[in-house]
Amino acid sequence: MIELHGVAFITGGLGVHQVRAQCNTQSHLLITVILFQWQWLTSQPGIGKTTAYTLTKHGVRRLAIADINFSAAQEIAKDIESQFEGTQAIPLSLDVTNPNSIHEAITETVTRFGRIDYAINSAGVSGPSGVSHAFDIDAWHKTLDVNLHGVWMCSREEIQVMLKQEKMGDSPRSNRGVIVNLASVYGLVGSSRNLPVVAYPTSKHAVVGFTKSDAVMYAPQGIRINALCPGYVTTPMTDPIPLAITQKEEAKIPLGRMAFVEEIADAIAFLVSPMSSYMYESAMVVDGGFLA
């Protein structure tokens, strides 16, 4: 059992935002109904949501859940408070592409809880598939805006808060705060030929890059910063991948399956806990052997 007593700030909640946006633009009633049914049938928790529950199970009693999908954040916060007595979970509306929105969300968390000990930057998008010569330029910018600039801007604000706060405890293994940036195995290798993507791996390589630089710069001040590189995980992000492609990718995983979202949340709990107190600047791979 890992014991976590600090304040958590998590971006990226339920993960149905992209599907909902698609529903809103459909004018044909039948298609809209089918899309909503599809969303309901395939509704999986995302990494952020599962992490919120996992951290709470390990003792976190003050947490902020921030997402562009505010209603999802509200539902999760309410459910966590009802399941875990004495827990305060605040839902926050956050668009990670907007620096003011990030500043407001972080300020609200600090106003309410006084500090941020575990920051998990999980908001992200897959972006469209495609190869470079035919890739839409707007889609390129949108993917990098969320996955790279958004994660960096959140991390930037979180570091500002952590620099001002005292370490939690006197142990040499304690720190001033921990940040986990969600990268991907595609932050370490190029796209699969089965599912060509270009903006996504670019954004994730860059997340690994700035994470390592920040880890080096802020380790002396006691801020621990790492990236997590999951392989394929069963979440709303991977739901839309056609079955034939999923099967081809799963055949490349020695374990033979995608990760359960809880397996990624457990890795995040480890990365924010004192059990990983000597880990700085890692790009920790959790991939069922995919990269071997």
Say which DSSP state 236 is in: T
- Choosing from 49, 118, 204, 280, which is the catalytic residue? 204
Residue 11 or 175: the one with the smaller Cβ distance to ligand NAD is 11
Residue 13 or 91: the one with the smaller Cβ distance to ligand NAD is 13
Question: What is the closest distance, in whole angstroms, from the C-beta atom of residue 168 to ligand NAD in the complex?
Answer: 26
Say which DSSP state 258 is in: P
Applying the rule CB under 6 A, the residues between 178 and 207 that interact with ligand NAD are: 182, 184
Q: Is 53 a catalytic residue?
A: no
Q: Is 200 a catalytic residue?
A: yes
Please select the residue that binds ligand NAD; options are 19, 76, 233, 272, rule is CB under 6 A. Answer: 233
The CA distances from residue 268 to 49, 63, 167, 260, 277, in Å, are: 12, 15, 20, 13, 13
Q: Which stretch binds ligand NAD (CB under 6 A): 14-22, 78-86, 128-136, 159-167?
A: 14-22
Cα dihedral 156, 162, 164, 166 in deg (nearest 10): -170
- Choosing from 200, 218, 232, 280, which is the catalytic residue? 200
Please select the residue that binds ligand NAD; options are 79, 95, 262, 263, rule is CB under 6 A. Answer: 95
Please select the residue that binds ligand NAD; options are 6, 91, 124, 127, rule is CB under 6 A. Answer: 124
Nearest to 284 by CA among 198, 225, 219: 225
Tell me if 7 sits within 8 A of 117, measured CB to CB.
Answer: yes
131 phi/psi in degrees, rounded to 5: -100, 160
The CA distances from residue 201 to 17, 108, 132, 184, 192, in Å, are: 21, 32, 12, 8, 10
- 96 touching ligand NAD, by CB under 6 A: yes
β strands within the chain, DSSP E: 7-11, 62-67, 88-93, 118-121, 177-182, 223-230, 283-286
Task: State in Å, rounded, how far the first CA of the chain is from the last one.
Answer: 29
* Binding string, residues 28-57; x marks residues near ligand NAD by CB under 6 A: ------------------xxx---------
**The two structure tokens encoding residue 173:** 């293994």
- 109 touching ligand NAD, by CB under 6 A: no
- 97 touching ligand NAD, by CB under 6 A: yes
**Total interface residues for ligand NAD by CB under 6 A:** 31
Active site residues: 200, 204
> Where on the chain is the footprint of ligand NAD (CB under 6 A)?
11-15, 17, 46-48, 67-69, 94-97, 122-125, 146, 150, 182, 184, 230, 232-233, 235-238
